[in-house]
Structure 1
Amino acid sequence: MARRNPMESVSGEPMGKHVDVRMDRPDLEGLPPIEVPAGYELITFSPGLFEEWVALLDRCFPELEPFDKGKWASRTIERAQFMPEGTFFVRHSGSLVATAFCWLDEPDERELGRVHWVGAEDAHRGRSLGRLVTVAVLHHMVSVGLKRAMLDTQDYRLPAVNLYLKLGFVPTPQNEAQVDAWRRVLSSLGRSDIPLSAGPFEQLP
């Protein structure tokens, strides 16, 4: 099966049989505490971690095409809005095993932060590492004065969607494809009680 190019994003458009879906957290109040499991360490980005970061992404997202270091640098650390202190990793026995980072779609953004590229190695499932890095990113958003958060994920990532729902994110479909995807997702999670907009769709920033 062909692997998807991680440098391409067509949010809300079908990706083969899958659909990208958006979620928003309307405020950053009432965040849970950052809880690091025993044996793990939460750290932030430093230049010496870049190659390890790219290798970690390949391990976390094996269904995607291999991450290109040059392209990844041009999309992240070479951009004005890159925040080393908002780029989190979990380290275990000297190796990076989970990651997520805060992103601003525009360098001068002051309201909305994006929780970006949340990933954890399969070998560490059950340790709530995805939750840890997501919560760390949300706390960072508060520290820099952002007011709300959003993220994009895919309709087949049910454990991730369930986590984000528990952390206060809500579905914000941007088109009919996302509405249909959200109906399937919420039904699979037993959360059909969550209301969905049926349009017309407001293209949120």
Structure 2
Amino acid sequence: MLTPVPPESSWRSVVDGVRRACVAAGEPDPLDEAAQLRLTHHGLDGSTLWLTDEAGFALAHDGAVDLAVAPDERRSGHGTALAEAAFAGSGPVTAWSHGDHPAAARLAERHGLARVRELWVMRRPTSLPLPELQVPEGVTVRGYRSEDEAEVLRVNAAAFAHHPEQGSMDADDLAARMGEPWWDPAGLLVADDGDGLRGFHWTKQHDASLGEVYVVGIDPAAQGQGLGKVLTLAGLHHLAGLGVDEVLLYVESDNTPAVRVYSGLGFEHAASDTHVQYRRD
């Protein structure tokens, strides 16, 4: 059932078509931001792609697999064929189920992948009133400037030293994100104490109605000062000022302190709004 990978313009059309079909059916995009940026800037360099006609695809890169089948094409063996190719052998591999699909759980079990992480999507309507922003003395919260690049990268690396995705962001990754259509320097809020940055809150406006708490990073040396809540609140005020109706964020389900902060600011999580990572060691 697998089909040869066609020239670039054709395989991109297949991948984009499956993604659009999933989103049109009310599902999350089957490719996360890292995979999207990689395809945009590097194509299939360092990656392997499998297709089943125009019904589905599996994309592997550095031991991580993204697999999707268009909703109308499911229950026809496409997912099975793609999984058999992408998860062949017994080596280490990871895969995300964006939306916690039961079919993904069955494929994961069949190929020896265990459920290891849950990423929650939490949402908050901007119609809820926000507390007044109170910035600690000696700190200025402002928008990003080009001279902040090194400090943002330093704080990010320190804050996410043990995070498997975010902590590896380098200057090229930062530049790629700043090259996206949604980039707005005013939406990358930094906490500046005059000697450097203590933290940052990178917001994202997806469209006229949806905003995101994209990344909140606090320098470990500044932990315990309440800056996480201050920067989160500053970003929420910024997004509300843009006129969006809802703000979402992603948080590890076992990050109890962060979940507590976000819940206290009015964010809620629905069980169906869960992304699951499977892994075979």
Q: TM > 0.5 between the two?
A: yes
**Match in the other structure for 1:46:** 145
Q: Which amino acid aligns with 2:264?
A: K
Pairing partner for 1:18 from 117, 121, 142 = 117
**Match in the other structure for 2:154:** 55
> Distance between the aligned counterparts of 1:28 and 1:79, measured in 2?
28
Tell whether the 8 Å contact from 1:90 to 1:98 is kept in structure 2 after alignment.
yes
Deviation of 1:8 (Å): 6.1
**Match in the other structure for 2:225:** 127
TM-score by length of 2: 0.55
Q: Does 1:72 align with 2:171?
A: no
Deviation of 1:146 (Å): 1.0
**Match in the other structure for 2:269:** 171
Tell whether the 8 Å contact from 2:126 to 2:244 is kept in structure 1 after alignment.
no
Residues 122-178 of structure 1: CA deviation (Å, up to 9, x unaligned)? 222221101111111111112111111100010121111100000000012336777
- Greater Rg, structure 1 or structure 2? 2
> Percentage identity across aligned positions?
24
**Match in the other structure for 1:113:** 211
> Distance between the aligned counterparts of 2:157 and 2:115, measured in 1?
20
Q: Which amino acid aligns with 1:40?
A: V
Q: How many residues align?
A: 169
> Distance between the aligned counterparts of 1:15 and 1:35, measured in 2?
44
Tell whether the 8 Å contact from 2:121 to 2:274 is kept in structure 1 after alignment.
no
> Distance between the aligned counterparts of 2:193 and 2:262, measured in 1?
24
**Match in the other structure for 2:189:** 88
Pairing partner for 1:98 from 176, 199, 218 = 199
Q: Judging changes above 3 Å, is the alpha-carbon distance between structure 1 residues 16 and 130 closer, same or farther for their aligned structure 2 residues?
A: farther
Any gaps of 5 or more consecutive residues in structure 1? Answer: 1-5, 179-205
Deviation of 1:78 (Å): 0.9
Tell whether the 8 Å contact from 1:43 to 1:90 is kept in structure 2 after alignment.
yes
Pairing partner for 1:36 from 130, 135, 151 = 135
Q: Judging changes above 3 Å, is the alpha-carbon distance between structure 1 residues 71 and 43 closer, same or farther for their aligned structure 2 residues?
A: same
Tell whether the 8 Å contact from 1:12 to 1:20 is kept in structure 2 after alignment.
no
Q: Which amino acid aligns with 2:149?
A: F
Deviation of 1:71 (Å): 1.8
Q: Judging changes above 3 Å, is the alpha-carbon distance between structure 1 residues 32 and 110 closer, same or farther for their aligned structure 2 residues?
A: same
Q: Judging changes above 3 Å, is the alpha-carbon distance between structure 1 residues 141 and 177 closer, same or farther for their aligned structure 2 residues?
A: closer
Give every structure 1 segment of 4 or more consecutive aligned residues whose post-TM-superposition deviation is greater than 6 Å: 13-16
Q: Judging changes above 3 Å, is the alpha-carbon distance between structure 1 residues 28 and 100 closer, same or farther for their aligned structure 2 residues?
A: farther
- 1:184-199 correspondence runs (5 A): none
SS of match in other structure, 2:215: strand
**Match in the other structure for 2:238:** 140
Q: Which amino acid aligns with 1:131?
A: K
Residues 69-96 of structure 1: CA deviation (Å, up to 9, x unaligned)? 1122212x11121111111111224111
> Distance between the aligned counterparts of 1:102 and 1:177, measured in 2?
20
Query: Quick check: 130-139 or 85-94, which moved more?
Result: 85-94
> Distance between the aligned counterparts of 2:181 and 2:115, measured in 1?
33
SS of match in other structure, 1:164: helix
For the aligned residue pairs, the C-alpha RMSD in angstroms reads: 2.5
Any gaps of 5 or more consecutive residues in structure 2? Answer: 1-32, 37-95, 101-112, 277-281
Q: Judging changes above 3 Å, is the alpha-carbon distance between structure 1 residues 128 and 78 closer, same or farther for their aligned structure 2 residues?
A: same
Q: Higher relative CO (CA 8 A, sep ≥ 6), structure 1 or 2?
A: 1
